[in-house]
Structures are given as structure tokens and as C-alpha cells.
Structure 1
Amino acid sequence: MELRAIFTPPVLDEDKVRRMTILADDIISHMDSGRNPDKLIEMFNTLTDSEYTDIDFHNIAWEGDTEEFVRGVLMPGGPWVTDISREEYLEIIRRAASINLDGEANYRNNWWLYVHWMSILRRNLTHPDISNIVLSGDNTPEEALDKILMHKPIAL
């Protein structure tokens, strides 16, 4: 099924990904050597319109994939669309569930696409466990969508 343009995965500026990865690596290097990274973190936040702290960069250093972090920062969230049809939801679920994340190469090449499809579902549906329902392998796309749509948030 062809989806509307609003659902098209974004294309990241690879030059910006490279530059921001270098900057993030510089921040981590400053922290590792005991130098103050505050100015670099401020620059990173200004360039990415974000609010990360030194603790976030400690976590990145611990996890070890600066480029993956930068791609996540630069990836816009899924659009909020008031008129998504059942057929469109099913196609988005099919696309998310069909992404191969097995092995490092597949994960590195495909995770951003998975994040894109899941961010659309999370932005437009209220179920708190969409990922597990979609990826469990226990549900057809139709069954997954029915389970997700059955969830009614508790009004506080």
C-alpha cells in the first residue's frame, strides 16, 4: 500500500550527522580527560535544538555508539495525524514489523527506519506497549492493531 507523503521517512543530512558526531565525541573526550565540556555541550544543544547534559554524554560514552545517538537526536518525531485510516495503521505496522534488526549491520542500517514507524504509532495511539505488541511475532498486523486500539487510557 502506498502511504501519504506525511508518513515518508525523513532523510537526515549526512554532513550534519558527521559534524554532530565529531562534536559529541569531542564532548566525551573532554569529560574523559577531565576538561570542562560545558561550552561544547551548549554548542551541541544549540545546533540540535536540544537540552542534553553531561550525564547524557556519560551514558553515550558508556553505551559506545555516538553516531547512533546523534541520528536519534536529529530524527524528527513522528507526525501527529488526526485522520489515519485503519489501512494506513496496518501498513505502518507491517513496515515496522518487517524491519530486520538482527545482527549489528542490519541494526545499524535499519534501526532509524524502525524508530520512524514506531514514533508514528506512539504519537497517534495511546497504548503504552506498542513495540512489544508489534514485534512479538505472536500477532498479525490486524491482531496487533486491534489489541492496540482496545486500550483506553485512564482519565485522571
Structure 2
Amino acid sequence: MDLRPELLPPPVSRERLDELSREIERVAELVELGPSEDADAAVAAFDAATGHDCTAWDFATYSGRRSTEEFAREVDRPSRPRVPDITRAELAEIVRRLLEGGEDADYYELLFQSNVA
């Protein structure tokens, strides 16, 4: 089944992935040094720029679960992709794509969670 464009993962350019990856690594290094005003400010600025609610913990632990590029792709996409008129058939297709895996599986999981009570 084809999904409507608003249900597909938004594309992320290589340039944007590289930019976000550099910033993630910079913030992670600040966090690694320990709690500080600089680390807190860097996390807050990152969240403001991406519209996400990352914490210092996210930067300290991301490398154990995913690559820097995967983290960058995640934060460049909407944090809560709500689609008010989503159908049951579309949700079933989202689950199918989620179970398939691949680089967009995290987005499909978030999309599903954001649209099911």
C-alpha cells in the first residue's frame, strides 16, 4: 500500500545530516565532561533548533543504541508527527513498514505512537 506524502518520513539532506552530526558530537563532548552550564546551554540550544526535547542523557547514551547519523536523522524529523485523519489501513501499513526494519523504522514507530491513543 502506498502512503500519503504526510505519512512518509521527510527526506533529510546529506548536508543537514552532516551539520547535525557535528553538533551532536560537540554537545556529547560537553556532556561527557560532566554537568555544566555550557552543556545545559548546548542541549537547550540544540532542542530549540530541532524542536525536540533531548536531554543530556540522550547525548551521553545515544552511541550505545544508534549511530550519530541515525540520531541526526531522528532529530531532523518532526518530534510528534500527528496526522488527524489517519486511517486504520494506513496504520496497518505503518506497522508493516516498522516491522520490516530499515533506516526509517524509528520514524514509523514514532508515527504510529503519535497517532494511536
Asked whether the two chains share a fold, i.e. TM above 0.5, the reply is yes
SS at 1:37 equivalent = helix
- Asked if residue 80 in structure 1 is aligned to residue 83 in structure 2, the reply is yes
Larger radius of gyration: 1
Change (3 A) 1:21 1:94: same
Shift of 1:74: 1.7
Superposed, 1:26-45 pairs within 5 Å as 26-33=26-33, 36-45=38-47
Unmatched 5+ stretches in structure 2: none
2:21 matched to which residue of 1? 21
TM-score normalised over the length of structure 1: 0.56
Counterpart Cα distance in 1 of 2:52 and 2:92: 32
Q: Give the deviation of 1:25 after TM superposition.
A: 0.9
Shift of 1:122: 1.9
Unpaired runs of 5+ residues, structure 1, are: 100-109, 127-156
1:46 aligns with 2:48: yes
Give the whole-Å Cα distance in 2 for the aligned partners of 1:20 and 1:87. Answer: 34
In structure 2, relative to structure 1, the CA distance for the partners of 1:96 and 1:22 (3 Å cut) is same
- Is it true that 1:57 corresponds to 2:62 in the alignment? no
What does residue 111 of structure 2 align with? 120
Q: CA deviation at 1:62?
A: 5.5
Question: Residue type matched to 2:57 in 1?
Answer: I
After superposition, the CA RMSD in angstroms is 2.8
**Per the alignment, do residues 123 and 60 of structure 1 end up closer, same or farther by CA in structure 2, a change over 3 Å counting?**
closer
**Counterpart residue number, 1:133:** none
| Number of corresponding residues | 114
Query: Kindly tell me: are residues 114 and 26 of structure 1, through their superposed partners in 2, closer, same or farther at Cα, counting changes over 3 Å?
Result: same
Work out the percentage of aligned pairs sharing the same amino acid: 23
Contact 1:6 1:79 in 2 (8 A): no
* CA distance in structure 1 between the partners assigned to 2:95 and 2:63 by the alignment: 33
